[in-house]
A and B are shown apart, each in its own frame.
Chain A
Amino acid sequence: MTAVGGFVDISELVFAAKAGSLFGYALIWAFALGTIGIIVFSEMSGRVAAVAKQPVFNLMRHRLGLKLGLLTLAASAISTLITCAAEVGGMGLILHYLTGWPYLAMAIASTAVLLASMWVLPFKWIERTYGLLGLLMISFAAALVSIHAPWGKIAGGFVPHVPSGLSTKQMLAFAYFLVAILSAVLFPYETYFYSSGGIEEQWGPKDLATNRVTSIVGMSLGSLLAISILANSAQLFGPANVGPEIPGSAALEVAIPFGSTGLLLALLGMLFAVAGAAVETCMSNAYAVSQFFGWEWGRHKKPWEAPRFTIAWIACFVVALAMVLTGIDPMTLVEYAVLFSILVLPLTYLPLMLLANDRKYMSQYVNGRLAKSLGWLFFGIITAAAAAAIPLYLLTSGGQG
């Protein structure tokens, strides 16, 4: 589920489609770079879970102390809550396109279904339902093949570059999209959800190879789907002067080659991928809070066996829905989610890296030279992106120019 429903979330849908239409294939490398980053941090968090056999937030509290640990927890929880609200709003919108029923009613219905499915279904079935149905997003990759995409240009997009001939304004917008894409790909909730899942499945050092393969293959698959959306947009929307301003426009990428069947597949894929992300964000917040305060936690338990954990994920959904019901534009929520997330990214990934670098906790499984170098490199990148995020947001009016 981490790979599809969670990786291709509403923020990536929106920013991939916009980036492709505005800058062609030039920002593919931002997705590729972010994917390497999320693989590095996911692998690290899975390794910490498998070796230390303790949840990341529990170790964080011991390693950083109560005050700094609490600050990290609060920053991460707020960022993830806004992201969850964006996902719930996204689900409401997609159901609105599918059924024609009112958006807010659809947001309420989505939340009710998510709550019910999380209460009733075992964790494996939640993963299977949202993760596997989210694979309908492959329709975007199929659409890319069927429109005879320029593969040479797409391959060129993987090489980091800034397009030539951009005005200062366009350059600022390009930088804003670069930061936003990195933030959307590196959402911290993914690593917390992933490592907590590892503990629920009782990973040990023998599972480290599985951890590595899952991180690389899973995250890369999600990234390829996001890149498909970007490339379709570059091919179909850019030349037609389409922004796109409405999140539902992304589904046109599949409708154009495959008609109404393609449209339905795309919308359903988007719905389940976004639903998967909503589940991940809520669970991630419940995991983080419960682990930090030492409460009983885990989805392998019945809801009443871990009452405070259960209340935490229910509360997360309810607060996210309340944010949507204020009438805030879902696109604004997406922008805030991405913006707030990049601001707290350094704060959330630094403790994880310190833990993975600590031989006392990790013994022979401590970060090697490659993991350490990549970790610090990406920490530098996300710190620079965090410093640039707010000025770029203001100077470009949220990428509008």
Chain B
Amino acid sequence: MQRLLLIAAVLVAGCSKGPEADLQYISKARSLGAEWALVNEQSNAGKLTGNYTRTMREAVREQLKTASSSLTQPNSNYAREIGALMAEPDDAPPAQLRAHADKLKQIEDGLESA
């Protein structure tokens, strides 16, 4: 019986759609926004090399693209926020990137507590 319940839970987790299923991508995008802000902040302080800064920004963009294209609700408020984050220039001010990450965090917390 316990095994059946576990299999059912796994199937439900694997097949779910909507904001619940998108939570992992929202969380990922929030973290990527915060990482991008940290990279830009340290780069502005002259603490990083040019290659590192450039490759990290590329990796952030690539992963944001993957997270965005994996969303099941592309017209949702969080999809728009991820889109806005992706539209920022490479050297966007850290505070601006953090604002996007904070908004995504609020959405994430709201969905988790719902």
Contact = CB atoms under 8 A, between A and B. Distances in A.
Interface of A: 96-100, 167, 169, 237, 240-246, 248-249, 251-252, 255-256, 259-260, 262-264, 267, 391, 394-395, 397, 400-401
Given A246-B56, A255-B47, 6 more contacts: A169-B112, A243-B34, A245-B63, A248-B55, A391-B6, A400-B24
Given A394-B13, A400-B24, A400-B27, A246 B60 contact: yes
Given A256-B47, A391-B10, A248 B52 contact: yes
Interface of A, helix, strand, loop or mixed by DSSP: helix
B6 to A, nearest CB: 6
Nearest to B59: A246
Contacts of A242: 31, 34-35, 38
Contacts of A245: 28, 31-32, 35, 63
B48 interface: yes
B13 A395 contact: yes
Nearest to B52: A97
Interface string B42-65: 100011111110111001100100
A240 B34 contact: yes
B13 A243 contact: no
Contacts of B9: 395
B22 to A, nearest CB: 11
Contacts of B49: 260, 263-264
- Interface centre among B23, B37, B39, B49, by most A CB within 10 Å? B49
A226 B46 CA distance: 27
A170 to B, nearest CB: 9
B55 to A, nearest CB: 5
A108 to B, nearest CB: 17
A244 B35 contact: yes
A37 B4 CA distance: 33
Contacts of A262: 47
A100 B51 CA distance: 5
A53 B67 CA distance: 53
A267 B105 contact: no
Contacts of B105: 241
B52 A98 contact: yes
A384 to B, nearest CB: 15
Contacts of A98: 51-52
B71 interface: no
A246 B27 contact: no
A311 B101 CA distance: 50
Contacts of B27: 243, 400-401
Nearest to A96: B55
A97 B57 CA distance: 11
30 contacts: A98-B52, A100-B51, A167-B112, A237-B38, A240-B37, A241-B34, A241-B102, A242-B31, A242-B34, A243-B28, A243-B31, A243-B32, A244-B35, A245-B28, A245-B31, A246-B35, A246-B56, A248-B55, A249-B56, A252-B42, A255-B42, A255-B48, A263-B48, A263-B49, A391-B6, A394-B10, A394-B14, A395-B9, A401-B24, A401-B27
Contacts of A169: 112
A258 to B, nearest CB: 8
Contact of A240 (B13, B24, B38, B50): B38
